[in-house]
Amino acid sequence: MLKALAERITNYLTTAHRRHPLARLLILLILILPLLVVTVVSYLITERELTASAFSRRQTIAHLAAVIVKEKLDRITDVGISLATRVRFRQLIEAKQWTEASELLADVPKDFPFIETAFLSDGQGTLKANVPELADTVDDNRAYRDWYRGVSRDWKPYVSEVYQRLAPPRANIVTIALPIRARDSATPAGILGLRIRLENFLDWIKDIQVGPSGYVYIVDRRGQLVAHPQFSPQGQITDFSAVPVVGKVLRGERGVEIHANAIEKDEQVSAYEPVAGYDWGVVATRPTATAFNLRRNTLNRLLLIYGVIIFLSAGLAAAILNNLTQRKKAEDELREKNAELERQSRRIVEANRLKSEFVANMSHELRTPLNAITGFSELMIDGKIGPISPEQTECLGDILSSSKHLLSLINDVLDLAKVEAGKMEFHSEPVSLTRLIGEVTETLPAISAEKRITVGAEVAPEVDRVVTDPAKLKQVLY
């Protein structure tokens, strides 16, 4: 029954396209349709995975930048706390001896270069001293400043938003304000302020690698730029709160998205991460034109490969269809010319022989560069070319293992070709079955673990030593 059905299908394929001009094209499409489906699905899956990978890298960079900024702010806050809690310093503040107290801070800008200046104010926000001295009006009240409103809210250390200092030389700064607590009073006797120029924040993030055309920037709690490689730290204070990702990071959200930045007039891929404990945010961004270069190049290569495969498959399908037609024609002519059938048969035999020789020759050609890869990998792992890191050693180990596995597959193909060509050689030698089987089972833990099975081998001592071809026996066991 199956034979009759196959015969009917063959007859239809060989005659349909002669009855209908479009039948040949339809048959070709049916034959390559599964490959087209596989191509589309593979493309979509690869695109999704590469996009997720790119997003993950952006998020990791943003998280790293947020951790760096938090660590720096924590350090400066700790410095300020240690200064504000010194016994002698607190005594002078309680006694309102501001000048004497400021003298204890004289070396702070020198010892901590990231602190530009320090200042003292009373509990109502009135400036009492600057270290070093500035052309500023001492005894002016600064209670309207964000640093005072923030520290006086619950009298805890507070990092201010970006603002411009009034005293010349004017500069864009951030102030870390710390309460100086009296011994027997819940109300602080004064406030210690540490001013930090925005250039310091830019220095903290400038070495973070984001990729070509990418960069990291920091915003304060109002969305103003604290540090941005494309904006001067001492230029006009820029408000980025209208940028969508900035609004989200200031709400404490984290993530990655593609968005249009109206300020920078560019479409960007941005990862955003809040700076824990400070209500600030960090954004790692890169133009979409360059952010997906790897994805675009990989997908283009994938399309090219699948395009070639589809083209070859279409050609093969056409060849198969044509071959079916020719076979039907040959069968029809068989009744008239037996001699033609015999010549056709010889051609098929010759084609099979040439195919076997081609496979054998190509297997040899493939092994030559693969042996070079294996050899150089072993030299690098052995340290004969130069020292390498443990991570590089691990990668080279993977390359060497994969190369040897691929070489084994090529050898299997070569052996098959030799069988078909009638040139199979068998090299017998004394072999330990225990050792040989052990080498095979060493390659199976990952596969057996995935399938939740245990692979074991036990060889009786009396049959351990045999005479056989070890390579052929391994092929049987694999």
Rounded CA gap, 137 and 79, in Å?
Answer: 26
Secondary structure element (H or E) that encloses residue 217, with its range = strand 215-219
**Which amino acid type is present at position 258?**
I
Q: Would the pLDDT of 359 be above 80? A: no
Q: Would the pLDDT of 91 be above 60? A: yes
Bridge partners of 117, per DSSP, are 195
Q: Would the pLDDT of 133 be above 70? A: yes
**Which amino acid type is present at position 123?**
G
Asked if residues 93 and 190 have their Cβ atoms less than 8 Å apart, the reply is yes
Q: Would the pLDDT of 148 be above 90? A: yes
Segment 419-444 shows an average pLDDT of: 74
Tokens of 337: 């010319």
Q: Would the pLDDT of 146 be above 90? A: yes
**Which residues lie closer than 8 Å to 126 by C-beta, 6 or more apart?**
139, 140, 141, 142, 143
In 3D space, the residue among 239, 296, 242, 289 whose CA is nearest the CA of residue 266 turns out to be: 289
The confidence score (pLDDT) of residue 434 equals 83
Provide the 3-class DSSP secondary structure of residue 269. Answer: strand
Asked if residues 70 and 205 have their Cβ atoms less than 8 Å apart, the reply is no
Q: Would the pLDDT of 471 be above 70? A: yes
Determine what percent of the chain is predicted with pLDDT higher than 70.
80
Q: Would the pLDDT of 369 be above 70? A: yes
Band (386; pLDDT cuts 50, 70, 90): confident
Pairing of strands 188-197, 172-181: antiparallel
Measuring CA to CA, how many Å separate 427 from each of 26, 367, 417, 424?
52, 20, 17, 10
Measuring CA to CA, how many Å separate 150 from each of 125, 160, 161?
11, 7, 10
The whole-chain average pLDDT of the chain stands at 81
**Which residues lie closer than 8 Å to 71 by C-beta, 6 or more apart?**
none
Q: What are phi and psi of 114, to 5 degrees?
A: -75, -10
Neighbouring CB atoms inside 10 A of 417's CB total: 21
